[in-house]
Amino acid sequence: MTQDVWAFEKEARSNGFQTIAGIDEAGRGPLAGPVVSAAVILPEPMPVSGISDSKKVSPKKREALYDAIYRHAVAVGVGIVDPVEIDRINILQASLTAMSISVQNLHPVPDFLLIDGQFSISLDFPQKAIIKGDSLSISIAAASIVAKVTRDRMMEEYAKEYPEFDFSKNKGYPTKAHKSAIQKFGYSPIHRLSFKGVKEYRQ
């Protein structure tokens, strides 16, 4: 039996909720760049197939789905937390903050939240945290695609400013080449100074 990707949305609706947002983030693991969250409210039915966890979709397909989600979604909100704030409050808190910002950027306002992961966010909304939610809920999967593409595009812009780090290729993740570049050139203004792989090079 295949998993019903609308199961969590249907359950929320059966409990009387109408406007259900899926929330996910991208960029917890990189050594550089922001953490980006998206919150997405989808229409039901959603006239687009193939929406799945962004990690399981090719970059080309992600771009096409990103455009389709923006075209058909009831609402999309994005939240971005920069590396300075990540260093100040830690990556988990920064991820949850980005999620809260993305929800606050939704219009219409949702009445129920489906959140990827094990943590709820500190907004006064009924909400459900779902481990591996990006594989189980279509709304969270849509949010994972928006968050990933938004962040990837930002890193491609940063690559123009800091070409020595090849951000368009590694997106800030700790590849061997990226770690070698930090060793050789030091860190850039968008590196996370509290992260292993960067903090060793702080003066």
Are 143 and 22 spatial neighbours (Cβ–Cβ below 8 Å)?
yes
Q: Residue 60 and residue 72: Cα distance in Å, rounded?
A: 19
User: What is residue 3's predicted lDDT score, i.e. its pLDDT?
Assistant: 80
Mean pLDDT of all residues in 18-38: 98
User: What is residue 2's predicted lDDT score, i.e. its pLDDT?
Assistant: 59
Average pLDDT taken over every residue of the chain: 96
Q: Residue 115 and residue 89: Cα distance in Å, rounded?
A: 20
pLDDT in tens, 145-162: 999 999 999 999 999 999
Percent of residues, the chain, with pLDDT higher than 90: 98
SS3 of residue 116 by DSSP: strand
In the chain, where the domains are located: 7-160
pLDDT in tens, 30-80: 999 999 999 999 999 999 999 999 999 999 999 999 999 999 999 999 999
User: What is residue 203's predicted lDDT score, i.e. its pLDDT?
Assistant: 73
5 φ/ψ angles, rounded to the nearest 5 degrees: -70, -5
Domain 7-160 has CATH 3.40.47.10: no
Cα angle 89, 94, 99; round to 5 = 150
Statement: residue 1 has pLDDT above 60? no
**Residue 132: how many CB atoms within 10 A of its CB?**
11
